[in-house]
A and B are shown apart, each in its own frame.
Chain A
Amino acid sequence: MTLQRTAPPRPSWRDRVRDPGWGLIFVLPMLVLFVIFRFVPSLGALGMSFTDYRLSGDFSFVGAENYRRLIEDDLFFDSLRVTLLYALMYVPLTLVVSLGTATMLHHVVRGRGLFRGLLFLPYVTSFVMAGIIWIWIYDSNGLANGLLERVGLGPVPFLTGNQAMVLGSLAIVSVWKSFGYSMLILLAGLKNIPEDVIEAATLDGAGAWAKFRRITLPLLRPVIFFVLVIETIVAFQVFDTIYVMTGGGPARASYGLVYMLYDQGFKFFDFGYAATIGVMLFLVVLVISLVQRYVLDRENT
């Protein structure tokens, strides 16, 4: 690294005067991108929700008509219920699987790196890829039913059964694809627990389960909470697997919130209405984040 020594040192006051300009110059490219593709669309979503914007680009202001329509739309409440049900399956399952695997990785003596890698593997694929594989696994001639057949159980209609069955099947695919992230976050949390605390409990004769429940879990609480919030937000944004695996079906059993947004926008080209659903999605995520803030603030005081 050779820096040019030709120019004489400039007085520092000139630098300070020049700094404002340079700061703006360096931030400018990202600023332009943010203004056009983040700030404008965010306000645009709100603005569009008060119009009947159509594909042609024609629109007129309709006041709160979209919101009135939304709260009278059974489809919307069904999609909200579908998403909530899905989240209620996906979030606890992710937490159990990632906490379980993180704890095992933390304690295993040999092959930790190998196991960590193998468990993390699905995280680098896409939900589309995951969906394509799992369609086959769930197929009546697929892996899951093939294994069930061995133990004498009939074919299970994973993706064509009732709502709980379909949403549970979709939740498992998402857990498979993405629990590796939460696992690594929790593993880092486990590593931060001071060893002498655990040692002290061991000397006091505490068993493995008691140590986990009374020491590890309480000390890990902030990390667990972080994982819960992140994964809940992710659950409310579920789309890719639904699109690839069920198309919202059967009979709208997996017609989630984002799927409804896509459907209204790009099947019916009802952009004003779809934007309104987007505003609702934002509100849901906002509430989750506010709850997070509230709980964290209460814990810190």
Chain B
Amino acid sequence: MTTLTAPPAPAATSPAGTGRRRRRRSGANLWLTVLLILASVFTVVPFVAVIVLAVTPEGAQTIPQRLPDEVTLDNLSAVLSASSFLRWTLNSFIYSIVSVVVILLTAAMAGYAFARKRFPGSNALMWSFLATLMVPAQATLIPMFVLVSRMEGVNTFWGLIVPTLANSQAVFLMRQFIKGLPDDLFDAAKIDGAGEWTVFWRLVLPLTKPVLATLGIFVFLWHWNDFLWPLVVAQTDDMRTLTVGLSTLNAETIARARIMASAAISVIPCLVIFGVLQRYLVNSIATTGLKG
């Protein structure tokens, strides 16, 4: 489909020079397409391999030597019927979705305050929020863990979730977007006598829907794929998230097909997000620079 070439331009109507250039261009374009196909093979083949390995019967001959003779869903169903895998999946969903909801709400509130309200120290506060971007999460891992364990938060959902909610990127993004909204809207609401909460719920939140959606996708991906914090704070099997659970499977001597089946299932939510929102996700990186 992508290798279809453009219909050749009618030679009679175009001067010779343009014709030659066009031919050269379509030659270059063919090369570009070939190189892009190769690059796409590099990014996509590992995913295909996971799926093939996940449906290969245990112990059967498989890739890279040859394709498996038969496919089976046994590995997938074995993974799904193992109680801890479903538990990890549930934990990952709780970790990601609670984080999305709370971060969107608190970041929208803080962003609104920084964009539209003057209060003592608002600028200094905004800058101190941004300054925390300079401190890598790994650098504060130890004191964070000590803090949470002193508050008895190890192996609890709040201990897992709450420390990851202070997100300066989210606040800054919301502030920039709300700052760009027309003043008239807020003036009109004031004149209509709308209270502060009404303005926030009826004006700010609906108007920031596009940026909330973008932020929501990113926060979901960040948390779904997060590893180091869940690794140290979720120590019992029933508190593990999918990434941590997968890493423990990997360390045990479990059949490769089983591990691959787990990996294949764990990536589904991200692939669904990607499939549905790809264009959106891709454009928002270019415009906001949000980084996972």
In the complex, what's the smallest C-beta–C-beta distance from B164 to chain A, in angstroms? 8
From known contacts A33-B166, A104-B36, A133-B49, infer whether A44 and B147 are also in contact, taking CB-CB under 8 Å: yes
Question: A279–B141 Cα gap in the complex (Å)?
Answer: 11
Interface membership of A237, Cβ < 8 A: yes
In the complex, are the beta carbons of B29 and A108 less than 8 A apart?
yes
In the complex, are the beta carbons of A132 and B246 less than 8 A apart?
yes
Interfacial residues of chain B within 245-292, with CB under 8 A of chain A in the complex: 246-247, 250, 256, 259-260, 263, 266-267, 270-271, 273-274, 278-279, 281-282, 285-287, 289, 291-292
Indicate which residue in B40, B42, B163, B192 contacts A176 across the interface (CB closer than 8 Å): B42
User: Which of A2-10, A86-94, A160-168 contacts the other chain?
Assistant: A2-10
Neighbouring B residues of A266 by C-beta, 8 Å: 232
Interface membership of A50, Cβ < 8 A: no
Question: A86–B36 Cα gap in the complex (Å)?
Answer: 27
Question: A121–B50 Cα gap in the complex (Å)?
Answer: 14
In the complex, are the beta carbons of A133 and B263 less than 8 A apart?
yes
Indicate which residue in B113, B136, B147 contacts A281 across the interface (CB closer than 8 Å): B136
Question: A26–B113 Cα gap in the complex (Å)?
Answer: 6
Neighbouring B residues of A130 by C-beta, 8 Å: 46
Interface membership of B227, Cβ < 8 A: yes
In the complex, are the beta carbons of A115 and B198 less than 8 A apart?
no
Question: A108–B4 Cα gap in the complex (Å)?
Answer: 13
Interfacial residues of chain B within 175-231, with CB under 8 A of chain A in the complex: 189-196, 198, 200, 202-203, 206, 221, 224-228, 231
Indicate which residue in A30, A41, A176 contacts B107 across the interface (CB closer than 8 Å): A30
In the complex, are the beta carbons of A185 and B289 less than 8 A apart?
yes
In the complex, are the beta carbons of A45 and B143 less than 8 A apart?
yes
Question: A125–B247 Cα gap in the complex (Å)?
Answer: 14
Indicate which residue in B64, B105, B114 contacts A27 across the interface (CB closer than 8 Å): B114
Indicate which residue in B29, B112, B256, B267 contacts A136 across the interface (CB closer than 8 Å): B256
Interface membership of A282, Cβ < 8 A: yes
Neighbouring A residues of B12 by C-beta, 8 Å: none
Question: A290–B18 Cα gap in the complex (Å)?
Answer: 50
Interfacial residues of chain A within 4-61, with CB under 8 A of chain B in the complex: 4-10, 12, 15, 18-27, 29-31, 33-34, 36-42, 44-45, 47-48, 53, 57
Neighbouring B residues of A10 by C-beta, 8 Å: 190, 193
In the complex, what's the smallest C-beta–C-beta distance from B11 to chain A, in angstroms? 20
In the complex, are the beta carbons of A38 and B132 less than 8 A apart?
yes
In the complex, are the beta carbons of B190 and A15 less than 8 A apart?
yes
From known contacts A3-B194, A42-B132, A111-B33, infer whether A33 and B282 are also in contact, taking CB-CB under 8 Å: no
In the complex, are the beta carbons of B292 and A146 less than 8 A apart?
no
Interface bits A127-141 vs B (CB < 8 Å: 1, else 0)? 111111111110001
Place the interface of chain B in its size category. Answer: 35 or more
Indicate which residue in A4, A38, A111, A117 contacts B192 across the interface (CB closer than 8 Å): A4
Question: A265–B270 Cα gap in the complex (Å)?
Answer: 31
In the complex, are the beta carbons of A275 and B112 less than 8 A apart?
no
Interface membership of A254, Cβ < 8 A: no
Question: A180–B281 Cα gap in the complex (Å)?
Answer: 12
Interface bits A88-121 vs B (CB < 8 Å: 1, else 0)? 0000000001001100110111110111111111
Neighbouring A residues of B198 by C-beta, 8 Å: 3-4
From known contacts A33-B165, A40-B147, A188-B286, infer whether A27 and B136 are also in contact, taking CB-CB under 8 Å: no
Interfacial residues of chain B within 116-168, with CB under 8 A of chain A in the complex: 117-120, 122, 125, 128-129, 132, 134-136, 138-147, 150, 162-166, 168
Question: A289–B134 Cα gap in the complex (Å)?
Answer: 8
Interface membership of B55, Cβ < 8 A: no
Neighbouring A residues of B194 by C-beta, 8 Å: 3-4
Interface membership of A243, Cβ < 8 A: yes
Neighbouring A residues of B67 by C-beta, 8 Å: none
In the complex, what's the smallest C-beta–C-beta distance from A141 to chain B, in angstroms? 8
Question: A141–B163 Cα gap in the complex (Å)?
Answer: 42
In the complex, are the beta carbons of A262 and B125 less than 8 A apart?
no
In the complex, are the beta carbons of B192 and A265 less than 8 A apart?
no
Indicate which residue in A1, A22, A188, A258 contacts B196 across the interface (CB closer than 8 Å): A22
Neighbouring A residues of B260 by C-beta, 8 Å: 132, 136
Neighbouring B residues of A45 by C-beta, 8 Å: 139-140, 142-143
Neighbouring A residues of B282 by C-beta, 8 Å: 116-117, 120, 184
Interface membership of B71, Cβ < 8 A: no
In the complex, what's the smallest C-beta–C-beta distance from A179 to chain B, in angstroms? 9
Indicate which residue in B63, B165, B246 contacts A146 across the interface (CB closer than 8 Å): B63
In the complex, what's the smallest C-beta–C-beta distance from B76 to chain A, in angstroms? 16
Question: A117–B107 Cα gap in the complex (Å)?
Answer: 29
In the complex, are the beta carbons of B227 and A23 less than 8 A apart?
no
In the complex, are the beta carbons of B141 and A184 less than 8 A apart?
no
In the complex, are the beta carbons of A142 and B64 less than 8 A apart?
yes
In the complex, what's the smallest C-beta–C-beta distance from B166 to chain A, in angstroms? 4
Neighbouring B residues of A158 by C-beta, 8 Å: none
8 further contact pairs, Cβ within 8 A, besides A30-B129, A42-B143, A129-B263: A6-B193, A9-B192, A30-B171, A111-B1, A122-B46, A124-B221, A239-B228, A265-B232
Complex A-B: 14 CB contacts under 8 Å? A4-B192, A30-B129, A33-B106, A39-B128, A44-B146, A48-B146, A108-B36, A115-B40, A121-B44, A125-B267, A126-B226, A128-B243, A129-B267, A279-B139
Q: Which 10 A-B pairs have the closest CB atoms?
A: A146-B64, A23-B117, A44-B143, A23-B119, A7-B193, A111-B2, A126-B225, A188-B286, A26-B113, A30-B110
